[in-house]
Structure 1
Amino acid sequence: MKVFTQWRSRFVVMVIFTTLGVGLTQTQAADVQWESRFNHTLGISFQLPKGYDLAPTSSLTYTNGQSTISFHELTSRRIHNVDLDVACHGLALDAPGYSYEVVNGGKQDICLYTNKRNQTYTSIIAQQRRTTANGRRYDYLLVSAPPDELLRLTQSITFDDSVSAVTYLDEALRTVRANFVYANKVNWDSLYQNAMASVDQFSSLDDARQALKDVFAKLNDISAHDAEIFSPDDLNSHGGYGFEQEILAGDDFRTVTLIYPDSPASLAGLVVGDQIETINGMNAAEAPQPDGKTVIRLEVARPGQAETLKFRLVPDFYSTSLDVIGRQLPDQISYIETYSAGVSGDDLSYPDDAQQLIRTLDQQNTCGWIVDVRRNPGGQALIMSLALAPIRGDGRWFGLKDIAGDVSWYSYQSGRFPDISDNFKVSRPYSVQESDPPVAILTSPYTASMGEMTAYIFQSRKDAQTRIFGEATGGYLSDGLNIIHLFDGSIMDVVSDVGITPDGDPLPKNIQPDVVVPTDYSLYGTDKDPVILAAEEWLHSQSQCQAQLSQQAPPQNQPNLQTTNEIRLVATSAGVVNIRSGPGTGYDIVIKLGNGTRLEVLDRSTDGTWLKVRFDGGEGWIAATLTRTNTMQKQ
Structure 2
Amino acid sequence: MALLVLASHTGCAATAEVPPEQPSTERTEPAPTTPSTRQDYEFSADDYVDEALSFIEANGLFINEIDWTATRTSVTAQTADARTPEETHQALEEALLQAGGRHSGLQPAGTGGAFAYAPTPKAKKLPGGVVVLTVPAFRSPRSEHIDAYAAGAEEIAAHAGDASCGWIVDLQRNYGGNMWPMLAALTPLLPDGDLMQLIDRDGNPSRVSAEGNEVFFDGKMLSQTTEVDYEDEHRPVAIVQGSATASSAEAVILSFSSREDVRSFGAPSAGLVTGNIVHTLPDGTVLRMTRTHMATGDGQMPLGPIPPDEISPEDPIQAASDWLLDECNAAPSPGN
Give yes or no for TM over 0.5.
yes
| Alignment-derived partner of residue 132 in structure 2 | 335
2:265 paired with 1:480 = no
Q: Which residue of 1 aligns with 2:224?
A: 425
Query: CA-to-partner distance for each residue in 1:460-497, whole Å, 9 max, x for gaps?
Result: 42xx21111111111112x1221111111110111011
1:368 touches 1:539 (CA, 8 Å); kept in 2?
A: yes
CA distance in 2, matches of 1:456, 1:349: 23
**Match of 2:247, as an amino acid?**
S
Q: Is the 8 A contact 1:416 1:422 kept in 2?
A: yes
How many angstroms apart in 2 are the aligned matches of 1:193 and 1:353? 48
Instruction: Give the aligned CA root-mean-square deviation in angstroms.
Output: 3.0
Q: Counterpart of 2:267?
A: 471
> Per-residue CA shift, 1:424-453, capped at 9, x if unaligned?
322313433x43321111111111111122
Amino acid at match of 2:96: F
Residues 62 and 98 in structure 2, CA contact (< 8 A), matched pair in contact too: no
Q: Deviations over 1:200-236 (max 9, x none)?
A: 355321112222023234346xx3x43111111323x
SS of the aligned residue for 1:488 comes to: coil
After superposition, the Cα gap between the structure-2 partners of 1:206 and 1:330, relative to the gap in structure 1 and judged at 3 Å, is same
Answer whether contact 1:342 1:384 (CA < 8 A) is retained: no
- Asked if 1:2 is matched to 2:26, the reply is yes
The 8 Å contact of residues 326 and 337 in structure 1, kept in 2 or not, is answered as: yes
Q: Do 1:332 and 1:545's aligned partners in 2 also have CA atoms closer than 8 Å?
A: no
Query: What one-letter code is carried by the residue in structure 2 that aligns with 1:470?
Result: G
Between Structure 1 and Structure 2, which shows a larger proportion of helix residues? 2
How many Å separate the matches in 2 of 1:193 and 1:163?
20
Q: 1:439 aligns with which of 216, 233, 237?
A: 237
The answer to whether structure 1 residue 229 and structure 2 residue 109 are counterparts is: no
Counterpart contact for 2:82–2:88, Cα < 8 Å: no
**Aligned pair in 2 of structure 1 residues 341, 134: CA closer, same or farther (>3 Å)?**
farther
Code of the residue aligned with 1:234 in structure 2: it is: T
Aligned ranges for residues 156-555 of structure 1 at < 5 Å? 161-201=41-81, 203-219=83-99, 223=101, 225-235=102-112, 238=113, 319=116, 321-345=118-142, 346-364=144-162, 366-403=164-201, 405-418=203-216, 419-422=218-221, 424-432=223-231, 434-461=232-259, 464-477=260-273, 479-519=274-314, 530-543=315-328
What 5-or-longer segments of structure 1 have no aligned partner? 5-39, 42-130, 138-158, 239-316, 520-529, 552-635
Give the % identical residues: 23
Give matches, 1:131-142, under 5 Å.
Answer: 132-133=32-33
Cα distance, 1:160 vs structure 2: 5.9
**Partner SS, residue 254 of structure 2:** helix
Gaps of at least 5 residues in structure 2 are 1-24
Alpha-carbon spacing, 1:344–1:324, altered in 2? closer, same or farther (3 Å): same
Q: Distance in 1 between matches of 2:263 and 2:239?
A: 6
- Larger Rg belongs to: 1
The structure carrying a bigger strand percent of its residues is: 1
> Against the structure 1 CA distance between its residues 422 and 474, is the aligned structure 2 distance closer, same or farther, given a 3 Å change threshold?
closer
- 1:420–1:493 Cα change, 3 Å: farther
User: What code does the residue aligned with 2:320 have?
Assistant: A
Structure 2 counterpart of 1:401, which letter? I
Q: Is the 8 A contact 1:392 1:436 kept in 2?
A: no
Q: How many angstroms apart in 2 are the aligned matches of 1:467 and 1:502?
A: 17
Q: Please tell me the residue identity of whatever aligns with 2:221.
A: D
Alignment coverage as a number of residue pairs = 308
Q: Structure 1 pair 201/474, CA: closer, same or farther in 2 (3 Å)?
A: closer
Write the deviation string for residues 186-206 of structure 1: whole angstroms up to 9, x where unpaired.
Answer: 211100111111123553211
Label 1:535 to 1:501 Cα distance change in 2 as closer, same or farther (>3 A): closer
Partner AA of 2:310 in structure 1: V
Distance 1:470 1:207, change over 3 A: same
Matches within 5 A, 1:147-162: 161-162=41-42
**2:71 & 2:82 partners in 1: Cα distance?**
21
